[in-house]
């Protein structure tokens, strides 16, 4: 069994009976991952002029038009795709008017004459462009320089307002208003103020503590791990029982905690295949997780994720 057939078996749990079919189907998946569109495997089209019935490994239709792809896996023969394979594809293209270009997928690369012929094909009379790809299992060398893990170090400085100290400062009028709460004959007045809202002179809600503090508390002292300051609140009042007491501002001291976290984003998928263009540049990697998302129906149409 060819190495590519073994990979296909590992991913899908079965392998097609006909030799080379697994590679053709994987080439269909690679074509969709590169260009999307509608992909069909093992499609037969009759030539416009010769009336010959052509078998097409990868028939792709996208926004740029229709292309036909040939897929050859010569790993068992241990040879590269030669010029003769490209000439066969070139001879078919003029007979299929609806097909605007050809594509070739090789598991073993191409000979120099084959590359030269593919590059020149569109310059021939009635010639159409041919794109060639080396599509094969990836190696460690292919994957050199790729990012496997992204490590993010995070530093959070978190305020704890529920443990903060809040001291309201009153205007002279505010202090006089508070004195009216002291009962005759008493020298002190105790009141637990739940500080949530601030009011205008008529007692209408003007500002909430949440809105006041939503813009943070200012700079944090690195020694005390707290933020200290005062919100100036002219023309703001707090309600103490039935009295509206006018404020100058609200002094605060908010403790902070430093939290350090590390997050790693790791790609655990296996880079099973690599696609390279005619210049040997990597077009993309295709992982086993990518491939598992695809299926084919009984007519050879690629069912995309």
Determine whether 137 is exposed, middle or buried from the number of CB atoms within 10 Å of its CB (0-12, 13-18, 19+): middle
Distance from C-alpha of 3 to C-alpha of 5, rounded to nearest angstrom: 5
pLDDT at 232: 95
pLDDT at 149: 75
Q: Does domain 3-145+268-303 have CATH number 3.40.1350.10?
A: yes
pLDDT at 271: 59
Pairing state between β 165-170 and 243-266:
antiparallel
pTM above 0.85, yes or no: no
- Say how many C-beta atoms besides its own lie within 10 A of residue 21's C-beta: 18
Distance from C-alpha of 113 to C-alpha of 105, rounded to nearest angstrom: 16
| Residue 104 near residue 130, CB atoms below 8 Å | yes
* Structure-token pair, residue 125: 């009379």
In three-state secondary structure terms, 162 is helix
Show me where the domains of the chain are located: 3-145+268-303, 154-262
pLDDT in tens, the chain (305 residues): 888 999 999 999 999 999 999 999 999 999 999 999 999 999 999 999 999 999 999 999 998 899 999 999 999 999 999 999 999 999 999 999 999 999 999 999 999 999 999 999 988 888 999 999 999 999 888 877 776 678 899 998 899 988 999 999 999 999 999 999 888 888 888 888 888 899 999 999 999 999 998 878 888 898 899 999 999 999 999 999 889 999 999 999 999 999 999 887 766 666 589 999 989 999 999 988 899 999 999 999 999 98
């Amino acid at each position: 069994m060819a190495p590519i057939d073994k990979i296909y078996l590992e991913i899908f749990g079965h392998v097609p009976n006909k030799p080379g079919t697994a590679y053709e189907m994987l080439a269909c998946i690679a074509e969709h991952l590169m260009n999307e569109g509608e992909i069909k495997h093992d499609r037969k089209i009759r030539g416009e002029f010769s009336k010959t019935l052509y078998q097409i490994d990868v028939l792709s239709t996208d926004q740029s038009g229709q292309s036909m792809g040939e897929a050859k896996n010569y790993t068992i023969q241990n040879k590269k795709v030669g010029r003769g394979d490209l000439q066969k594809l070139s001879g078919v293209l003029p007979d299929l008017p609806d097909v605007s270009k050809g594509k070739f997928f090789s598991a073993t690369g191409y000979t120099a004459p084959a590359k030269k012929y593919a590059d020149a094909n569109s310059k021939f009379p009635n010639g159409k462009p041919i794109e060639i790809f080396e599509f094969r299992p990836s190696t460690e060398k292919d994957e050199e320089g790729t990012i496997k893990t992204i490590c993010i170090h995070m530093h959070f400085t978190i305020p704890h307002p529920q443990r903060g100290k809040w001291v309201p400062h009153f205007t002279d009028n505010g202090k006089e208003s508070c004195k009216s709460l002291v009962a005759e004959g008493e020298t002190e007045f105790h009141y637990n103020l739940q500080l949530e809202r601030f009011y205008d002179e008529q007692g209408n809600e003007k500002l909430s503590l949440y809105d006041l503090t939503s813009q943070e508390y200012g700079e944090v002292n690195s020694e005390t791990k707290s933020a200290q300051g005062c919100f100036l609140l002219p023309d703001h009042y707090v309600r103490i029982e039935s009295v509206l007491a006018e404020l100058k501002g609200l002094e605060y001291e908010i403790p902070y905690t430093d939290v350090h976290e590390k997050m790693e984003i790791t790609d655990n998928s296996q880079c099973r295949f690599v696609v390279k263009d005619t210049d040997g540049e990597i077009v993309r990697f295709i992982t086993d997780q990518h491939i598992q998302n695809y299926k084919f129906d009984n007519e050879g149409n690629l069912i995309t994720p």
